[in-house]
């Protein structure tokens, strides 16, 4: 888990997508080549700090022992204002989650490898005020 997590740290800590300078299409997760423009395309990395809306969600009640204190938690499909769709945990009371709810990205703990292990961090979403 550790090496795989570490290689992607920048992308877990930040919402980074890529944009094709040629056709302006936004990709998330980021791509190296624009499938529309191929060689004519030129990709640039872009931070996506937009708010978004919940388009679908599920409430998780059962989980491994490591996450026992975290249940119930919500996993949602979120559509950002720029159109990008992301799967992420939404941190809020399960009775408050609604389709269409406005959410914003935040930096939170994902979990840890026990009391003496590495702590994993990344992006989650919370209700936008």
Residues near Zn ion (CB under 5 A): 20, 22-23, 34, 36-37, 41
Map the footprint of another protein across residues 43-102, applying CB under 8 A: 47, 49, 65, 68-70, 91
Proportion of the chain in helix, strand, coil states, percent, rounded to 5: 15, 45, 40
Using CB under 8 A as the binding rule, whether residue 129 contacts another protein is answered as: yes
Closest approach, Cβ 52 to another protein, in A, equals: 17
The 3-class SS string of the chain reads CHHHHHHCHHHHHCCEEEEECCCCCEECCCCCCCCCCHHHCCEEEEECCCCEEEEEEEEECCCCHHHHHHCCEEEEEEEECCCCEEEEEECCCCCCCCCCCEEEEEEEEEEECCCCCCEEEEEEEEECC
User: Which of another protein, Zn ion, none sits in contact with 65, Cβ below 5 to 8 A by type?
Assistant: another protein
Using CB under 8 A as the binding rule, whether residue 9 contacts another protein is answered as: yes
User: Which of another protein, Zn ion, none sits in contact with 14, Cβ below 5 to 8 A by type?
Assistant: another protein
Site size with another protein, rule: CB under 8 A: 21
Considering only 16, 37, 60, 77, the residue that binds another protein (CB under 8 A) is 16
Q: Which is nearer to Zn ion, 27 or 110 (CB)?
A: 27
């Amino acid at each position: 888990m550790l090496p795989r997590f570490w290689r992607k740290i920048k992308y877990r800590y930040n919402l980074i997508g890529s944009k094709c300078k040629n056709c302006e299409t936004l990709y998330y997760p980021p791509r190296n080549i624009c499938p529309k423009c191929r060689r004519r395309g030129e990709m640039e990395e872009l931070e996506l700090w937009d708010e978004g809306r919940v388009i679908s969600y599920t409430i998780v009640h059962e989980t491994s022992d490591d996450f026992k204190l975290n249940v119930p938690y919500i996993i949602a499909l979120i559509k950002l204002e720029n159109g990008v769709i992301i799967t992420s945990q939404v941190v809020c009371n399960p009775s408050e989650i609604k389709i269409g709810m406005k959410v914003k990205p935040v930096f939170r703990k994902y979990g840890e490898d026990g009391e003496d292990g590495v702590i994993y961090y990344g992006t989650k979403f919370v209700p936008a005020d």
